Amino acid sequence: MKPDSILPDKTKPARILIVCRYHFSRFAGGSEFQSWMLSKELSDRGWDVHYASEMNHVPDPPVLEGVTLHGLPEDPRYPEGNRKPLRELMQELQPDVVVAKVYNLYVRDAMLEAPEDAVKIWWLAAELDGRLGKFLWQSLKTQGILRFVKVLPKNLMLRWGAAQGRRKADIVLQQYAGQTKGIRSGRSQLAVMHNSHPPVPSSEIQIHDGRPQILWVATLKSGKRPELFWKLAERCSDLDVKFIMAGRTQRPYQDAQIKQLESTIANFTWVGQLSREEAARQYSAAHLFVCTSMSEGFSNTFIEAWMHGVPVLSTGVDPGGYLREQGLGFCVDSLDQLEAAVRDLIKNQEKRKAIGEKARMVANNDFNLGKNADIFESIVTERGVRMPERSGDERKG
């Protein structure tokens, strides 16, 4: 129970605390982007929104776009992590709702240290969150035996800690129906809230004219399998098509490796890490988007491509069945099938355009920020959290 001295003031908006290791300004990942988009939207709707992340230098004043920022020490030591600072922050803020995203020790800390009567939400991010066996198997395949054994103790500790937290969640928020398959939900209520993106202006939509460009966007690491994309470019060297790879490397030697590929594969270009504005221009210019990842949660890159009217081709990843069931692109099982799909869609401009138009229509409906914020509000108010007072219908959705 909350101490009498800090019982909630019914005249003030309910308080939401979102906990994520990084803020979007420090690390521009998909989970960080989604956490920040929701934070800003809820703040615009009148909620008292706070965001806790590792940040040694918090802006002064600590309010950004209506959201109050709270800094936790960067790169804390394991296994304790930032549990104590987060506990102190919980005691100070007494939030009505606590949301934890990204499956790490912050799920443990946020769910275990939240006030007893707060609504506690674990918001899934990656496909392998909560699936220890599958996570370890993929780690073994991508890291090799020596690296796998070296980091195994830390991985087990992180996953065990996160599992402690998720079992305390009142609500497990899925990115699509069935994402928690194979995870014991226990006492938690399951709910679905899609990822959200701002709408794309009509002037930036791909109309599928001109020389085709094929885009790949991700961090260049083993689980994303970037080598499949440059192999695809080599196989399609006879086509008048430009293959563009965007994303940061993780090792210094990778830069030289990719620059060497640029010199040997005539139709392949690496543009490095992009700002959100630069990435938007690449999506606007792309005719196809390719994903070669081994696993994803619900990739923001899919949504960004669809919102720009760009079909998605994926090697095995099909979150929510949007590729196979709704036809917003193709999900294939091999490099041969990927090449065949590329050749088919490059040859058939009208088919590619029709898929892109449908993808944009579906994306603008399912991944609408206002609509998904409505879902979030409905979930927490059903648990007794009071809505902010509004004059008339001020919702954006």
What does the DSSP assignment read for 323-389? TTTT-SEEEESSHHHHHHHHHHHHH-HHHHHHHHHHHHHHHHHHTBHHHHHHHHHHHHHTTTPPPPP
pLDDT surpasses 50 at 395: no
Judged against a pLDDT cut of 60, whether residue 186 lies above it is answered with yes
Query: Is domain 4-196+368-381 classified as CATH 3.40.50.2000?
Result: yes
- Determine contact, residues 102/159, Cβ cutoff 8 Å: no
- Contact, 132 vs 345, CB < 8 A? no
Q: Do domains 4-196+368-381 and 202-366 have the same CATH topology?
A: yes
Q: What is the pLDDT of residues 170-179, one digit of tens each?
A: 999 998 888 8
* Distance between CA atoms of residues 264 and 252, nearest Å: 20
Average pLDDT over residues 256-273: 90
Domain ranges of the chain: 4-196+368-381, 202-366
Instruction: Give the pLDDT mean for 214-220.
Output: 94
Q: CA–CA separation, 235 vs 290, rounded Å?
A: 15
Question: Which one-letter DSSP state was computed for residue 197?
Answer: B
Look at residue 397 in the predicted model and tell me its pLDDT.
Answer: 44
Class of domain 202-366: alpha beta
Distance CA 292, CA 386 (A): 43
pLDDT of residue 134: 84
The rounded mean pLDDT for the chain is: 90
